[in-house]
């Protein structure tokens, strides 16, 4: 481990290695993507989607190795036993920092199917990363003025995700937690923003035959929430992660917009889930 180097040097080295690794994998990712699009046959698309996800696994594995080499953070992870790479999962988590994405990739890479995030369409233009995300079928969504258009976009994404096992990541709060947002929302939770429900339940219902488990992830930074640069420089001493596997049942599957009884049932379930997460997060932060 290169802990003898000054923090900024380790941060710069990590960014450099991340960039080189991303550029290296962009070309095979793009080639696989265009081959997959060339012939709209299920078996053909399934083969190249699996191959692409394998490349994604190698990409993230190298990044995780870089962090292990340059970053002395202590990892306290519980709840990842018994997960499988041949199952579909919906992964939900609290959202505090851009570091959360690196944490989730560190926790789940190789344990569940390749993790894919919903991204703002503007992120497509991020150098190198945007192309890599696009080739890996990360969903780019525009923030529509109407919920119906957002849900229509999610439904199209769900059809793509049925081809091969995949883990779909959703930050249910919709944005990163800050004290200002917490106060503006008048959130009833101490450490969380209010959860957004529609997109989550629509995705589960659209993939009810594939998604049988929700992975509820709680991420805590006991020494304070690090910035991405601060994390790469080694300023996060410890990260605590707790994962709960929740079977998908009647509380999670239904028509959220038309079935009032289901909407009440789902909302009650999510509020209870969020209250428990808030309590657990408070304990992890102490």
Q: Taking residues 9-33, what's their average pLDDT?
A: 94
Enumerate residues 6+ apart whose C-beta is below 8 A from 209: none
37: in domain:
no
233: in domain:
yes
* C-alpha span between 259 and 41 (Å, rounded): 36
Question: What does DSSP assign to residue 175?
Answer: S
Is residue 106 predicted with pLDDT exceeding 80?
yes
269: in domain:
yes
CA–centroid distance for 188 within its chain: 24
pLDDT in tens, 226-283: 999 999 999 999 999 999 999 998 778 888 778 888 888 888 999 999 999 999 999 9
Residue 196 is predicted with a pLDDT of: 85
What whole-number percentage of the chain has pLDDT above 70? 97
Range of the domain at 140: 74-285
23: in domain:
no
* C-alpha span between 11 and 235 (Å, rounded): 10
Nearest to 66 by CA among 121, 115, 23, 10: 10
DSSP character string of 5-53: S-HHHHHHHHHHHHHHHHHHHHHHHHHHHHHHHHS--HHHHHHHHHHHH
For the chain, the average pLDDT equals 90
Joined tokens for residue 97:
């920092």
Domain count, the chain: 1
Enumerate residues 6+ apart whose C-beta is below 8 A from 141: 118, 119, 120, 121, 150, 153, 154, 157
230: in domain:
yes
Per the DSSP assignment, residues forming a β-bridge with 238 are: 74
* C-alpha span between 52 and 50 (Å, rounded): 5
What whole-number percentage of the chain has pLDDT above 90? 66
pLDDT in tens, 121-146: 888 899 889 999 999 988 887 765 45
* C-alpha span between 83 and 113 (Å, rounded): 10
129: in domain:
yes
- Cα first-last separation, the chain: 29
Assign 65 a pLDDT band (cuts: 50, 70, 90): very high
* CA pseudo-torsion sign 37, 40, 41, 42: positive
* 205 three-class SS: helix
Distances (CA, A) of 274 to 188, 201, 219, 280, 281: 10, 15, 13, 10, 10
252: in domain:
yes
3: in domain:
no
CATH code for the domain in which residue 263 is found: 3.40.1130
* C-alpha span between 141 and 118 (Å, rounded): 7
């Amino acid at each position: 481990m290169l802990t003898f180097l000054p923090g900024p040097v380790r941060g710069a080295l990590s960014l450099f290695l991340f960039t080189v690794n991303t550029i290296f994998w962009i070309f095979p990712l793009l080639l696989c993507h265009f081959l997959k699009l060339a012939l709209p046959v299920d078996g053909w698309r399934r083969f190249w989607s699996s191959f692409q996800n394998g490349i994604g696994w190698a990409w993230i594995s190298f990044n995780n190795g870089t962090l292990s080499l340059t970053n002395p953070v202590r990892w306290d992870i519980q709840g990842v036993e018994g997960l499988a790479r041949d199952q579909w999962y919906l992964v939900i988590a609290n959202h505090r920092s851009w570091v959360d994405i690196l944490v989730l990739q560190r926790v789940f890479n190789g344990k569940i199917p390749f993790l894919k995030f919903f991204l703002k369409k503007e992120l497509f233009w991020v150098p190198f990363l945007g192309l890599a995300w696009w080739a890996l079928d990360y969903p780019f969504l525009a923030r529509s003025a109407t919920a119906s258009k957002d849900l229509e976009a999610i439904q199209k994404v769900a059809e793509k995700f049925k081809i091969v096992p995949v883990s779909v990541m959703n930050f249910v709060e919709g944005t990163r937690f800050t004290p200002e947002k917490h106060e503006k929302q008048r959130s009833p939770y101490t450490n969380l923003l209010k959860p957004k429900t529609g997109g989550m339940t629509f995705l589960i219902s659209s993939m009810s035959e594939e998604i049988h488990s929700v992975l509820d992830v709680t991420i805590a930074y006991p020494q304070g929430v690090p910035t991405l640069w601060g994390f790469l420089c080694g300023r996060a001493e410890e990260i605590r992660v707790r994962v709960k596997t929740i079977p998908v049942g009647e509380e999670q599957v239904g028509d959220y917009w038309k079935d009032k009884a289901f909407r009440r049932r789902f909302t009650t379930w999510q509020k209870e889930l969020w209250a428990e997460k808030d309590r657990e997060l408070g304990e992890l932060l102490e």
